[in-house]
Amino acid sequence: MADSNAKGEKNKAEDEIIMNSNNQFLNQQPVSPKKGPTLSTSTSSFEALDTHDPQLNNLASNMFSSTSDWIAGELDTTVEEYKLLEQMNRVTLTKYSDMSQITENVSRGVVELNTKYSSLLPYLEQIDQIDSSVARLEQAAYKLDAYSKRLEQKFKTLEKRSN
């Protein structure tokens, strides 16, 4: 019986009609005078088939036309931006392809230079050895020159004594 009592209270709550300040029922969906309940909570009385103020129709038509033009312009701009982006991507691809070719050529050149350097390394070592030998020979020549000058001085002093 408690169950039926709860159901009875619920039905009473549903049966009560609460009205707001505009005399609209708060617990019911808005109702169109011609078509019945609507999904909109708007208080507009617009019906598609009713005749309206021609100036209002003209303004609404102008607004929709302008909005359509604006959206079309935005879409055109977006399309142009995508075309520009696509063109930039192509140019970038070409540039990176060129850079890749240059890098490959430089890499081949470095490999060739390393190979040539490896083949010339024994000769370069010989040149370094010859250079150090020449430096030692030059030092010996300076010492010999200095010794010969001292000998010449001694010889001249001895020659003057003999005279």
H/E segment holding residue 20: none
3-state secondary structure 39-78: CCCCCCCCCCCCCCCHHHHHHHHHHHHHHHHHHHHHHHHH
SS3 21: coil
> For position 34, what pLDDT does the model report?
52
Q: Has residue 107 got a pLDDT over 70?
A: yes
Q: Has residue 89 got a pLDDT over 70?
A: yes
Cross-strand pairs, 37: 31
Cα distance between residue 40 and residue 36, in whole Å: 12
Cα distance between residue 123 and residue 115, in whole Å: 14
Q: Tokens at residue 43, please?
A: 């208080």
pLDDT tens-digit map of 4-63: 454 454 444 444 445 455 444 444 555 545 555 555 554 555 566 667 788 988 999 999
Do the beta carbons of residue 31 and residue 37 sit within 8 Å? yes
Q: Has residue 152 got a pLDDT over 60?
A: yes
**Residue indicated by tokens 């909109």:** 40
Cα distance between residue 24 and residue 8, in whole Å: 25
Q: Which amino acid is at 99?
A: M
What beta strand segments (E) does the chain contain? 31-32, 36-37
Tell me how long the chain is.
163
Q: 154 versus 35: which is more confidently predicted? A: 154
Neighbours of 30 (CB within 10 A): 14
Indicate yes or no: pTM above 0.85.
Answer: no
Q: Has residue 125 got a pLDDT over 60?
A: yes
Over pLDDT 90: what percentage of the chain?
A: 61
